Amino acid sequence: MQNSEALGLTAALLAVAGELTQRIHDGVVARGFEGRPAYGFAFTRLAPDGATVTELARHLGVTKQGASQLVEELVAKGYVERRPHPRDARARLVVLTERGWACTRAAEEAAAEVVEGWSGALGGEAEVRALREQLARIAPCGPIRPAW
Amino acid sequence: MQNSEALGLTAALLAVAGELTQRIHDGVVARGFEGRPAYGFAFTRLAPDGATVTELARHLGVTKQGASQLVEELVAKGYVERRPHPRDARARLVVLTERGWACTRAAEEAAAEVVEGWSGALGGEAEVRALREQLARIAPCGPIRPAW
DNA sequence: AGTAGATGGTCAAGCAGCTTGACTATATGA
DNA sequence: TCATATAGTCAAGCTGCTTGACCATCTACT
């Protein structure tokens, strides 16, 4: 593998990632939600049972102050709410509201639309699944950098 | 393909893209260059024969003022220089300096290092090449959003 | 129990990197 | 030749993050 090929792979990967981000965002907006792409990253961490600001910060790869400001924004727009933490009086659990869940579903739909388009380019759904599995193998488990 | 699977693919793709961006940046810094990831995007457009500020802006998906500021930064750090455009007295051609080329090569090396690690996770270089080809098929030809 | 240090969260100020708006110089076409 | 479009820059403003300071609470050690 020559170095220039690695750069070609990098360019393709980042172009696809950028395009995907943009189109999911557009799709979410088209479904009546406002926001910026960073919301999506936050939602994936908050989705199951909520999370604290500090956990969210680690997930996003930003400071806890940055995460706190994002949560403030999400609260103002009605996507999440802060609740007292059941086992730690210092902490507050940030959980999705019904509207937050609806926005998450909208993002899923938008993502599915884009990915469906990839089926055509790649030859079928099996290829898309294969792509997903390959990416999952090399995906890091660390913090997600807000790359959109 | 269920919607949630599309979101899983999205998460994996963006995680890989973020990780790759970070590690290329780290590798470039380790080789003695300073800068931010956006430089890499610019270099890929400037590399062959240079480009005007407006062309660069379209490539990066930012305003021409934003691109102009980035070029100013690159000039100050010695990575590029502005030359009169051969056929348009309004325009100026931004071209890489020798240091700019050296930085590009450093980025290639860093990218190759990361991609080499993927060979292990995927089973071999053939799989990496296949991944690259799949991504190239679905990569957009439009402007690259500065996702790092 | 009492206390020192670690940790969760917020407020405030600052900064980087982008935007919009206004402007000049040059090109293009009726 | 003049009207309009385009390349580029300067200036000001905004957004989303950072660093620094601080309080409340938890944890562990004495």
Give me the mean pLDDT over the A35-58 stretch. 94
- Tokens 């799949």 belong to B134
Residue B148's pLDDT is what? 41
Angle, vertex CA B95, rays to CA B90 and CA B98, nearest 5: 155
Strands A92-96 and A80-84: antiparallel
Q: How far is Cα A22 from Cα B104, in angstroms, rounded to an integer?
A: 27
What is the tally of structural domains in chain B? 1
Residue B102 lies in a domain: yes
Q: How far is Cα B55 from Cα A11, in angstroms, rounded to an integer?
A: 18
Q: Between A92 and A140, where is the model more confident?
A: A92
Residue B96 lies in a domain: yes
Residue A141's pLDDT is what? 66
Beta bridge partners of B83: B93
Which residue range(s) make up the domain with B97?
15-138
Residue B147 lies in a domain: no
How far: B74 CA to D3 C1' (Å)?
37
Residue A1 lies in a domain: no
pLDDT at B14 over 70: yes
Q: For residues A24 and A40, is the Cβ–Cβ distance under 8 A?
A: yes
Residue A2 lies in a domain: no
**CATH code of residue B51:** 1.10.10.10
Residue A99 lies in a domain: yes
How far: B55 CA to C23 C1' (Å)?
21
Which site among B3, B23, B46, B101 would you substitute to test the A interface, given the most A Cβ atoms closer than 10 Å to its Cβ?
B3
Residue B93's pLDDT is what? 98
How large is the C-alpha radius of gyration of chain A?
A: 17
Q: What is the DSSP letter of A139?
A: -
Q: Which residues of A touch B117 (CB under 8 A)?
A: 138
pLDDT (tens digit per residue) in A60-95:
999 999 999 999 999 999 999 999 999 999 999 999
Residue B146 lies in a domain: no
